[in-house]
Structure 1
Amino acid sequence: MNGATLSPFWGVPFAGLLLSIALMPLAAPAFWHHHYGKVVAAWSLAFLVPFAALFGASSASHELVHALFAEYIPFIVLLTALYTVAGGIHIRGNLHGAPGLNTAILAIGALLASVMGTTGASMLLIRPLIRANDNRQHKVHVVVFFIFIVSNIGGSLTPLGDPPLFLGFLKGVDFFWTAKNILPDTAFLLVVLLALFWLIDRHYYAKEGVLPADPTPDTASIGFDGTVNFALLGGVVGLVLMSGLWKSPVTFDVYGTAVGLPGLLRDAGLVAITLLSLALTARKVHADNNFGWGPMAEVAKLFAGIFLTIAPVIAMLKAGTDGPFGVVVAAVTRADGQPDPAMYFWATGVLSSFLDNAPTYLVFFNTAGGDAQALMTTFATTLAAISAGAVFMGANTYIGNAPNLMVKAIAEDRGVKMPSFFGYMAWSGAILVPLFIVTTFLFFR
């Protein structure tokens, strides 16, 4: 597609889909829960059918195949593998949620998030953390800080950590580039947040103490079930590294979309690991973790529509100031024509707070030129700002990142009275936004 010749109306299906994801779970939760797949299909067809009518069925088929094989399938295969492997590990026993232990669990979760993904780390640790604190009277802050640290900011160092970074990896960003370039930003935020959490938790612990009787008795020793999944997790990491380091000249043409041999082998290996995890994990482990396919099915359906409808938006952004979205490009560009990292950080971050951070990353990655080699070198600060904005500010609302809502649902199921949508934003506005302002002056001026 030549983005300079397209009308902005081609972006309506993408915008409509993202607004549906953001608003319908709040405005019509019952309808959304039962029919979100139909909503996604409707917006996808709203792009695909007119596109086929105007540009031909062959062009429409090419866009569909490209969205599937270049981005969607690798993305969803990795997420499924991480989700399955994490769901096969159960931490048994009962910890006791004192401030020091809670802070340690959050710190461990932050480290794990970049290795097994924010979704994997969140699903692994949220249940034992809630169990550890079920004898505490005030524990909402524990889950809120868990979302800040484990479900979002901790996943900022590798493509395994958060979906936006894996999309960047698929676009050519080196596996370790993010760790090298936003480690100081991530370390600053995590140290401040962990210290602040410890102070808040110590205050409540000293003020309220614990309940006379622990709802979870100490009936089992602390340990892990499903330990085979740790080895499988190592296999996931190895496969992703292999696909990034091995530069094979062998490619396969799938209706105009080049599929490289390393990526093909990576995806086949991830599917094999997913099946191995399901076969080798005892049913009791999945039962103890309340493992189910509902969250993964929702992510798969939503992103199928996102990757398809975002195609014309990316084409129009690639057209730069000559395209219909020239005003967006101008807003993040300085007077001398150079990108403004601070504006990229906040533009990516604000949209990631209310839309999904993965497509938001793609939008601004392409706004900045879409050339991975140039972004990793000449415009490294800009790419760092886009990466940090997408991952960090996904924590600003419940809908900024998929694990946020999953953690909220699990906490409420376990009796934690989580804040409302706007109540959670009061927490993030008071704690995260000031930290992001400081981060801007420290790293993106």
Structure 2
Amino acid sequence: MPRAMALLAGALLPGLAFAADLDGSQLSAWWGLPFAGVLLSIALMPLVAPVFWHHHFGKVSAAWALAFLLPFAATFGAGATGAAVVHAALAEYIPFIILLTALFTVAGGIYVRGNLHGSPGLNTAILAIGAVLASFMGTTGASMLLIRPLIRANDNRRHQVHVVVFFIFIVSNAGGALTPLGDPPLFLGFLKGVDFFWTVVHMWAKTGFLIGVLLALFYAIDWWYYHRREEIRPVDPTPDTPRLGFEGGVNFALLGVVVALVLMSGLWKSPVAFNIAGTEVGLPGIVRDVGLIIVTLLSLRLTPASAHENNQFNWAPMQEVAKLFAAIFLTIIPVIAMLKAGVDGPFAAVIRAVTLPDGSPNNAMYFWATGALSSFLDNAPTYLVFFNTAGGDPQVLMNALAPTLIAISAGAVFMGANTYIGNAPNLMVKAIAEDRGVKMPSFFGYMAWSVGILVPLFALMTWIWFV
């Protein structure tokens, strides 16, 4: 079947030589406008037209995708366009969505029974536990497992926004920095040849510092809110139960299968691959994705209905992420190509900024350039761009240029917390919180939190480790 698909694609898409490897040096910066349009829509439309956006964000996303695809097809031909779309779908978007769906479904099938009371100490403990779990079950898995019980624990408090914001900072982003399983950029580095344990050895101090400071700051803010006279509502919306426990425990085993499948796809080296419209699809990736689909179906089949009902499990957050990131992965195609063109492309200034006059890497700028782009682009391809900008040799980057690889890794993972779109779990957590009645900040309102709290910490980390 894959061979037949490849032959059919070859017949229908004659421009496969162009394939997914666009020459970014031949592109104008204007090709980045649809991508900017997607970002601005996500940022502004919930503010200026919230009802319209809620009902039609999928159509808006599709419109921006077409605003890129139609002119691109008219300029470069249907073959090149089709190959680029196939590459974005098979190599990036489909595996990305399959993994997120599996983690979302499995974690959403685990219901923490009982009513925790969201005191500053308990909330801080949950965030700390989530930070540890994020590096072993992924930021998405940890976020989906803990965000519902955390919101439920605080549903008798009037001020809940800061709890969810710090949850995104810590669990949905910083906590995933210790292993390739934690965050997609690090997993891509693992697939490129970075040793599995290299990350934890070289990132633990930076990660521990950032998470430690954020936990201390959160405790101080939460303590101040908690001890305000008007903070606690007289009636707790969630009644107390005799004991704590779990429903849907089978999902813990399925979560282990998810981790094993992801790890297998990186460790298993198979020569078997299928070329589909110019995109190589390896057997390990196919086995991983099929396995993740099976895990998702098993979770839906085996999870008790009561666990889903108690979790108020629904597909709305996943649908939002799938539709928005479909547009992002398509419209980002020319942006990534222009970045890959290096000093010969429209974004040459970015590339020059990460290199010192003597030709050596400027690690502080690698940290900030990777982080700034990861805040608004998808952090996985951004990591790859700067991984390759620094030479792309994993042995050199793990040894002689280890500080540079650390800067790239830290920027991609940590600064994904700067915006709602910096990392997929951010949007999912936001959607779940809003579905539970938490009035989350707007796109720029959230950035006010991140700029006020995270950016000074990143500046301090630059001075300590990257200068």
1:339, 1:28 → 2: CA distance? Answer: 44
Amino acid at match of 2:297: L
How far 1:362 sits from its partner (Å)?
5.0
Aligned to 1:6: 27
Which of 100-109 and 418-427 deviates more?
418-427
Aligned to 2:66: 45
Residue of structure 1 aligned with 2:178, choices 154, 157, 164 = 157
Aligned to 1:116: 137
Distance 1:69 1:118, change over 3 A: same
1:186, 1:23 → 2: CA distance? Answer: 32
Distance 1:177 1:81, change over 3 A: farther
1:415, 1:30 → 2: CA distance? Answer: 16
Mapped contact 2:42–2:443 kept (Cα < 8 A): no
Amino acid at match of 1:102: N
**Structure 2 unaligned residues grouped into runs of 5+:** 1-21
- CA deviations over 1:82-129 (Å, ceiling 9, x no partner): 111111101010122333222211111111222233233222222222
Residue of structure 2 aligned with 1:254, choices 268, 273, 276 = 276
Aligned to 2:287: 265
Give the alignment of 1:167-206 within 5 angstroms. 167-169=188-190, 173-206=194-227
How far 1:287 sits from its partner (Å)?
1.4
How far 1:364 sits from its partner (Å)?
4.2
How far 1:161 sits from its partner (Å)?
2.7
How far 1:156 sits from its partner (Å)?
2.1
2:335, 2:391 → 1: CA distance? Answer: 13
Which of 248-257 and 371-380 deviates more?
371-380
Distance 1:295 1:143, change over 3 A: closer
Aligned to 2:415: 393
Distance 1:104 1:48, change over 3 A: same
2:335, 2:310 → 1: CA distance? Answer: 43
Mapped contact 2:43–2:443 kept (Cα < 8 A): no
Aligned to 2:166: 145
How far 1:401 sits from its partner (Å)?
3.4
With normalisation by structure 2, the TM-score equals: 0.85
Give the alignment of 1:37-436 within 5 angstroms. 37-136=58-157, 138-169=159-190, 173-206=194-227, 208=229, 214-354=236-376, 356-358=378-380, 360-361=382-383, 363-365=385-387, 367-368=389-390, 375-416=397-438, 418-419=440-441, 421-436=443-458
1:295, 1:323 → 2: CA distance? Answer: 36
- CA deviations over 1:392-440 (Å, ceiling 9, x no partner): 2232344443433443454455455555555544443333222111111
| 2:451 is equivalent to residue 438 of structure 1 | no
2:263, 2:298 → 1: CA distance? Answer: 20
2:452, 2:30 → 1: CA distance? Answer: 37
- CA-atom RMSD, angstroms? 2.8
Which of 72-81 and 292-301 deviates more?
292-301
Which of 219-228 and 154-163 deviates more?
154-163
Amino acid at match of 2:452: A
Mapped contact 1:306–1:359 kept (Cα < 8 A): no
**Structure 1 unaligned residues grouped into runs of 5+:** none
1:163, 1:60 → 2: CA distance? Answer: 26
Aligned to 2:12: none
Mapped contact 1:361–1:387 kept (Cα < 8 A): yes
- Runs of 4+ aligned residues of structure 1 deviating over 6 Å after TM superposition are none
- Number of aligned residue pairs: 445
1:26, 1:374 → 2: CA distance? Answer: 47
How far 1:358 sits from its partner (Å)?
4.5
- CA deviations over 1:294-314 (Å, ceiling 9, x no partner): 221222222223223323222
- CA deviations over 1:63-83 (Å, ceiling 9, x no partner): 222212222221111111111
With normalisation by structure 1, the TM-score equals: 0.89
Mapped contact 1:175–1:244 kept (Cα < 8 A): no
Which of 173-182 and 268-277 deviates more?
173-182
1:368, 1:20 → 2: CA distance? Answer: 33
